[in-house]
Amino acid sequence: MSFSSEIKEKLCGAADACAFCSAALLAGVFRFAGRARPDGLLLATENRAVAALVEREFLECFGIEIRFAYKASGRLYSLLLQDEHLLENVKERLFPETEAELEQLFPFQCCKAAFVRGAFLGGGSISDPEKNYHLEFDAGGERAAGELAAVLEQLGAASKMTRRKNRCIVYIKGYETIADVLGIIGAGSAALEIYNVSIEKEIRNQVNRQVNCENANIDKVAQAYCKHLQAIEKIKRNIGLDKLPESLQEIARVRLEYPDESLKELGKRLEKPIGKSGVNHRLNRLIALAEELK
C-alpha cells in the first residue's frame, strides 16, 4: 500500500470535530473527485474506505442512504446522483456560489480542516517522504483550486498552483508545511513520520559531509607528505641531510618517521616542541631548498 493510501485509510476513520464538518468534508470530496455530467453528478474513487466514508457522511448530512457501485474492470467505486431534487440540494449545500456562502460552509477552523481532508481523500496524493517531499491536490478546474489554496492559507499553509494536462494542481513542497497540513487534517502519525524521515536524512547528510571533509583532509595530508618526501629525498641525494641546520635535520627525520601525523603532532615529537606554524615553516624551508637544487 502506498504512503498516500495508508494516510487515506487512517483519515477515513477520523471523527468529525463538529456538526458542520460533515458538509465541509463532502464539499472537498465532491470538488476533487466529482464530475458533472448531462445525466447527473458522478463521484468516483479507487479507495473503498473513501467510498464508505462518503456514504456515512452523506447520510449524516442529507439523511439519505447512497451506495457506490464497484466496477472491477476499472477498480473504481462510482456513484451517480441523478435525482433532480437531490442534486439541487447537494449543489446548494456543497457548492455555494458566492464567497460569503462559501464562508458559511466553514464556520470554524475544524470545518476548514475537514474541507482539506475531503479534498485530499478525493483528489490528493503525497510522495513517499523517503524519496521526495511533495503533496498535491488535483483540482481539475481553477475555481476549486483557488478555493482550496485560500482555505490552506487561512490554515497557515502556503501552497502553489500549476497546470498539468489542462488540469489545475495545488501543491506543497516543504516537508514542514506538508507535515503541518497532515497534522491539521487528522493524519498526525503521518506528519510525525515525515519529521522523523527529515531528521534521518539530515543526519545522513551531516555524516556524508563529515566523511567527505575527512577524505578531503586525508588527501590534503597525503599530498603534503608526498611534497615533503620529494624535497627531503632530493636534498639527501644532492647534499645530504647532515649538511642541513640541526632544526631542519630534525624535522626531516620526524617527517619521514611519522608520515600519517599532522603538523601539530609532528611539532610535539621534536626535542624542543614547537607549534603547527613552526613545523610548517621548517618544512617549507626544506621545499624551498630542494627547489634551489638542480
Which one, of 32, 250, 2, 16, lies nearest residue 111 by Cα?
A: 16
Domain residue spans of the chain = 3-186, 202-292
pLDDT band for position 124 (cuts 50, 70, 90): very high
pLDDT of residue 294: 65
- pLDDT tens string 180-203: 999 999 999 999 999 999 888 888
User: Is residue 279 predicted with pLDDT exceeding 80?
Assistant: yes
Q: Which amino acid is at 279?
A: V
pLDDT of residue 220: 80
User: Is residue 119 predicted with pLDDT exceeding 90?
Assistant: yes
User: Is residue 126 predicted with pLDDT exceeding 90?
Assistant: yes
* Percent of the chain residues topping a pLDDT of 70: 100
- pLDDT tens string 44-81: 898 999 999 999 999 988 888 889 888 877 788 988 88
* Architecture in CATH of 3-186: Roll (3.10)
Q: Which of 82-96, 122-136, 264-278 is least confident?
A: 82-96
- pLDDT tens string 11-45: 998 888 888 899 999 999 999 998 888 888 888 89
Determine phi and psi for 140, rounding to 5 degrees. Answer: 80, -80
Strand partners, 28: none
User: Is residue 175 predicted with pLDDT exceeding 80?
Assistant: yes
Q: Are 32 and 122 in contact (CB under 8 A)?
A: yes
pLDDT of residue 24: 93
